[in-house]
Amino acid sequence: MDSGIGLLAATAAVRRLRPDADLVLSLDPAGMPWGPRTPEDLTSRAVSVAEAAAAHAPDALIVGCNTATVHALTTLRTLLEPALPVVGTVPAIKPAAAGGGPVAIWATPATTGSAYQRGLIRDFAGGVPVTEVPCWGLAEAVEHADQTAIDDAVAAAAALTPGDVTTVVLGCTHYELVAERIRAAVQRPGRPPLALHGSAGAVAAQALRRIGARPRPEAPARGAVTVLLNGEQGVLPAPALAYDEGRLLQPVTPAL
């Protein structure tokens, strides 16, 4: 679940680990973006999106959004667990800091400088130089697959990223869809290869662990994909197909 196509990164990671899994993608196109909303409004919309997904009796629910995880995860777990395990998405600050840095955390302006993100830096990146980089308009540009706007937003964030950075944390799930464009913009000539840390792989693996399932990337069967748009069955928004992760989920057929 997510407000928009930021959930593609985690969904594609699940697909690669378990090609045979049936997938339900629950989106909130009428309410996205969630970032500028109040925590109370965001939580209300997240609950609606989650309940629409839960009606399809999934084995686990992935909250494929950093902002929704910050504000709504506790509420969602109170409502749905233990019957339905709920897995949140946390910026990969801990593994990024393990490399020694310097680290840049690319995140939405609402998350940058927040008590939540500062707490993660304090808990997991002590002693490592960390720069918080607000990425104005990047999530929205990715959501609409607006290539010019993506280039402009990536360039603006890259200009705010110190030249000695060795690692970038992709602190919004949308950013994972344009990871290589971010790498190309931040990589400096003569510097070691830039490390990028997203959350999708770890989130997918955690979802399988929560339900006691093993990865089966060699599974020959291909699971179905059901898309819910504000609770109603639909198809992936057209911009999703601009990304490898979206194309991996085609064709879309309803899960029974």
Catalytic position from the list 25, 172, 177, 236: 172
Q: What is the DSSP letter of 178?
A: G
Indicate the pairing of strand 225-229 with strand 23-27: parallel
Q: CA–CA separation, 195 vs 182, rounded Å?
A: 11
Q: Residue 135 catalytic?
A: no
**Buried residues in 3-14 as b, exposed as e (16+ CB within 10 A):** bbbbbbbbbbbb
Q: Residue 65 catalytic?
A: yes
Which is nearest to 22 in space by CA: 50, 53, 68? 53
Phi, psi of 168 (to 5 degrees): -120, 130
Encoded tokens for 218 = 């060699």
Query: How many CB atoms are located within 10 Å of the residue 117 CB?
Result: 22
List, in order, residues 6 or more apart from 203 with CB less than 8 Å away.
Answer: 10, 13, 62, 64, 87, 88, 89
Q: CA–CA separation, 17 vs 36, rounded Å?
A: 33
Which is nearest to 160 in space by CA: 138, 189, 177? 138
Encoded tokens for 71 = 């504000």
Catalytic position from the list 13, 14, 54, 65: 65
* Phi-psi map region of 197: left, alpha, beta (phi>0 left; psi -120 to 50 alpha): beta
- Catalytic site positions: 65, 172
